[in-house]
Structure 1
Amino acid sequence: MITIYPLEWIDSLILLTLNPNKSNIGNLSQSDLVFITENLSRESHKIQIQLKNEIFALQKKRQIRLLVRKYHSTLVYLLDNIIENQNNEILKDGIFFRITESIIDTLDDLLYFVENRYPNYLNLDERVPLPYLLVSRKEILLKIGRLSKKKTAINDVNRVIQIIVDALTVSNQINAGNKITYREVLYQKELLKKVEMQLAIESKSNFYSLLDELLIEVNFNDSFYISHVIEKVENHLKSQETLAGKIGELLFCYKEFSQLSSSERIAFDPSKQNISFMLENWFRHEIKYLERKKELSVDVDENNAATESMQMGEDKVECTLSTDQMALILRAGDESRVLKARSMSLVFKTIVPFLSTPFKKNLSYQSVRSKSYNAEDRDKEIAIQTLKKIIEKIKSY
């Protein structure tokens, strides 16, 4: 049975050695202070190993839960005491201040280890004590400042970084009316750690950047970030001129988004819905809207085409010549360059739809053009006589 108290050295250091009410801190030698500084890292490593060994030896979840919570509450208690000790004048300056800061950092690392490795055995929805909150905020704000200086070659990624910085800065503004839980503090620490790691390998991927994929995965449901994703999609759709093109690109963006995972256990803002739910809802409504708009557009185009066709039918010019005779005159007009177009086919295509005969209302320009190559002598004579009649008429003017 394990009877060793793993926190014994650091406990004694905080509650006795560096406690101005129980010892004369000024009697500590330079070698004592150097030893304390060097031993902190070793002790932290030993405590983590001891905790893992103790948990590994247990089989019941209830026992593990009690052990994890015991470690966690003791670390919070020690953190509270070292911060209180810092109020003493002798610990506010020089090497003593640096030692107390090192102890605070060590305790913070141990708390992060417990919270991150064994979150299922802790009540992360408890309100954090003020000393713990102050230390955590100091660490988070330091990392936020470091993140705000990060710049990449991708403008969209830089914009997302600024959104993260702004969201976390606002979240960490001191407001006594807010209940800050361990879960929220742990989320922000883990988010900053993952973002920093992601930026080290950030590169252009698909429509969504690797940073987007991370934020969607950890359910970063900040309203400004969600608006940014929507704006990003809308700007992408502007490159498409047709509704069909916009719908196609929107479906592509939705497909890419649907393939990204998003946690339902964690959230940046627990009071809001999951980022996946909100964006999927937007995609579905936007696709439905564009598809309906396209349907209405098709209806309008069909009505306009029908109206145009009716008007064309009503506005046709009736020619007393047959289609064969009409074809000869148009062909002659093209080949004599009286009528000029890119091709003879274009001459027929442009003129014939507006002509009719006493026997036929709608003429096919292809049919009329083909007849210009197979005209009978009688049709040629009638065409010539018609042109002579026109010549005589012009002479009479």
Structure 2
Amino acid sequence: MMNNNVYPLEWFDSLILQTFDPLSTNIDSLTDNDIAAITENISKESIKIQVHLKNEVFSLKKKRHIRVTVRQYHSTLIFLLDSIIENRTAKVLQYEKIRQLADLLISSLDYLISFIEDRFSYYLSLDERVPITYLMVCRKELALKLQRINKRNISAETDKLTIKRVVKLVQNSIEADNGKKLTYRWILYFRELLKLLEDYNDDLETPSIFTPLDELLIDHNFNSVQYISILTERMTEQIYSIEKQSAKLNLLLLYYKDFKQLHSNVKITFDASHQNIKDVLENWFASEISFLQNRDEMEELGNVLYKRNINPLQPILENKIQCTLSSDQMGLILRATDETRILKAKSMSQVFKTIVPYLSTPFKRNLSYQSVRSKSYNPEEKDKEFVIKTLEKIIKHIKEY
């Protein structure tokens, strides 16, 4: 509860609701000295409010009272932020120095709100919908952070590719306007994630397939389907570059051991509609380990059948379906059906493993599922265009049914 005798936000309240009210004051009459004094005082008042809130919270004994106090500060600051953003559109506030002052006010209020959300998130109702004006400010703030992260000079090639992809995924999520309820929890997640990425030290070395950047993202439960695919592709590429079957399995088990030691905060998530990243990767490892173990057994069976002059692949060879698409184009479609969850399997690997052996092209009878899957991550523009045209042709036919 805010102290009944003292209203800590009184100065900001008066400045925004009275001085910056374009209907009730002559704000354009402010002198340079007035503007300089207000500018200096904004910083002082911001510090005073932080100290006052910390002292007030520290003096309270009951959690209920602390919760009420924190929420009062939070909701009042958001109300003031909404008010100054709304007032700023008035013609009288377009004077250069007045506009700069309004921008400084917005920045200071946003900082105070972030301070409360960072320090006292436990006492906030994080699943409430964010006001639209506050959301606009947050999007702008997060976009600037993404620009800084994107410009970072990352030395490790693996991390460089990961950062580039993660920035794009976060950017798409922040800019999306799909009617989804955007909450304080959503904003807090991205603020924390981008702060970690800004502070990330890419000089750290690791003997594991999982880099320190991966550890950071997994710990923050960055459960994007695309990011998980980056991880599984990286491991698959290393594993299947080895010829000996037993060595493949040993390397996979080593990766699994490293993975089991990683932590993931399941209380937060990038996409609440998807499983936690640890669960998805756990399923992927189980599927891959089972596949390689079974493959060992199949090889032994194949050797026995070969000695008896029986081809174990004959049923597959006889049941192949020829596709007029190239293997690269097929890979694009299979990857898209997995990532959009049209086809649901334990992993993307399982989709390719199950389907590709039964397909052929006019130029190639036997296709490698690893090769088809790998090429789907670096598609050429002409292949993307051809696949889109093919799908449009299918849509046209369906409409005519």
User: TM-score range with shorter-chain normalisation?
Assistant: 0.7 to 0.9
Matched residue SS, 2:175: coil
1:306, CA displacement in angstroms? 9.0
Tell me if 1:101 matches 2:114. no
Tell me if 1:271 matches 2:273. yes
1:41, CA displacement in angstroms? 2.1
1:161, CA displacement in angstroms? 1.0
The CA distance in 1 between the partners of 2:85 and 2:155, in whole Å, is 42
1:115, CA displacement in angstroms? 1.1
The CA distance in 2 between the partners of 1:250 and 1:212, in whole Å, is 17
Partner of 1:260: 262
Matched residue SS, 1:141: helix
1:174, CA displacement in angstroms? 4.7
2:154–2:202 CA contact under 8 A, matched in 1:
no
The CA distance in 2 between the partners of 1:107 and 1:294, in whole Å, is 63
The CA distance in 1 between the partners of 2:15 and 2:284, in whole Å, is 56
The CA distance in 1 between the partners of 2:245 and 2:21, in whole Å, is 73
Partner of 1:203: 204
1:14–1:81 CA contact under 8 A, matched in 2:
yes
1:176, CA displacement in angstroms? 5.5
Map residues 329-348 of structure 1 onto 2, 5 A cutoff: none
Partner of 1:286: 288
Map residues 1-397 of structure 1 onto 2, 5 A cutoff: 2=3, 3-175=5-177, 177-198=179-200, 200-205=201-206, 206-301=208-303
- Root mean square deviation, CA, Å: 1.8
1:18–1:85 CA contact under 8 A, matched in 2:
yes
1:24, CA displacement in angstroms? 1.2
Q: Which amino acid aligns with 2:118?
A: N
For structure 2, the residue ranges without an aligned partner over 5 or more in a row are 310-401
2:22–2:87 CA contact under 8 A, matched in 1:
yes
The CA distance in 1 between the partners of 2:203 and 2:99, in whole Å, is 38
In structure 2, relative to structure 1, the CA distance for the partners of 1:176 and 1:87 (3 Å cut) is farther
1:110, CA displacement in angstroms? 0.9
The CA distance in 2 between the partners of 1:282 and 1:300, in whole Å, is 26
The CA distance in 2 between the partners of 1:184 and 1:126, in whole Å, is 10
1:202–1:211 CA contact under 8 A, matched in 2:
no
Deviations 1:235-273 (Å, cap 9, x if unpaired)?
A: 111332111111111111111111110001100111111
The CA distance in 2 between the partners of 1:57 and 1:305, in whole Å, is 84
1:303, CA displacement in angstroms? 5.9
2:57–2:69 CA contact under 8 A, matched in 1:
yes
Deviations 1:154-190 (Å, cap 9, x if unpaired)?
A: 1211111112211112112252622111111111111
Deviations 1:204-233 (Å, cap 9, x if unpaired)?
A: 323211111100001011111011011011
The CA distance in 2 between the partners of 1:14 and 1:211, in whole Å, is 42
The CA distance in 2 between the partners of 1:122 and 1:162, in whole Å, is 33
The CA distance in 2 between the partners of 1:130 and 1:246, in whole Å, is 52
Deviations 1:72-97 (Å, cap 9, x if unpaired)?
A: 10011000000011011232241211
In structure 2, relative to structure 1, the CA distance for the partners of 1:249 and 1:93 (3 Å cut) is farther
The CA distance in 2 between the partners of 1:176 and 1:130, in whole Å, is 14
Segments ≥4 residues shifted beyond 6 Å: none
Q: What number of residue pairs does the alignment pair up? A: 306
1:264–1:274 CA contact under 8 A, matched in 2:
yes
The CA distance in 2 between the partners of 1:120 and 1:278, in whole Å, is 28
Partner of 2:317: none
In structure 2, relative to structure 1, the CA distance for the partners of 1:202 and 1:183 (3 Å cut) is farther
The CA distance in 2 between the partners of 1:246 and 1:39, in whole Å, is 65
The CA distance in 2 between the partners of 1:152 and 1:174, in whole Å, is 27
Deviations 1:283-322 (Å, cap 9, x if unpaired)?
A: 1111111011112213333565799xxxxxxxxxxxxxxx
The CA distance in 1 between the partners of 2:243 and 2:294, in whole Å, is 17
Q: In percent, how many aligned pairs have the same letter?
A: 43
Partner of 1:354: none
Deviations 1:347-393 (Å, cap 9, x if unpaired)?
A: xxxxxxxxxxxxxxxxxxxxxxxxxxxxxxxxxxxxxxxxxxxxxxx
1:146, CA displacement in angstroms? 2.0
Deviations 1:34-92 (Å, cap 9, x if unpaired)?
A: 12222222222211111111111111111111111111100110000000110112322
The CA distance in 2 between the partners of 1:49 and 1:84, in whole Å, is 28
Partner of 2:372: none
The CA distance in 2 between the partners of 1:291 and 1:235, in whole Å, is 18
Q: Which amino acid aligns with 2:298?
A: L
Matched residue SS, 1:11: helix
The CA distance in 2 between the partners of 1:135 and 1:231, in whole Å, is 37
The CA distance in 1 between the partners of 2:176 and 2:272, in whole Å, is 19
1:151, CA displacement in angstroms? 3.1
The CA distance in 1 between the partners of 2:77 and 2:191, in whole Å, is 18
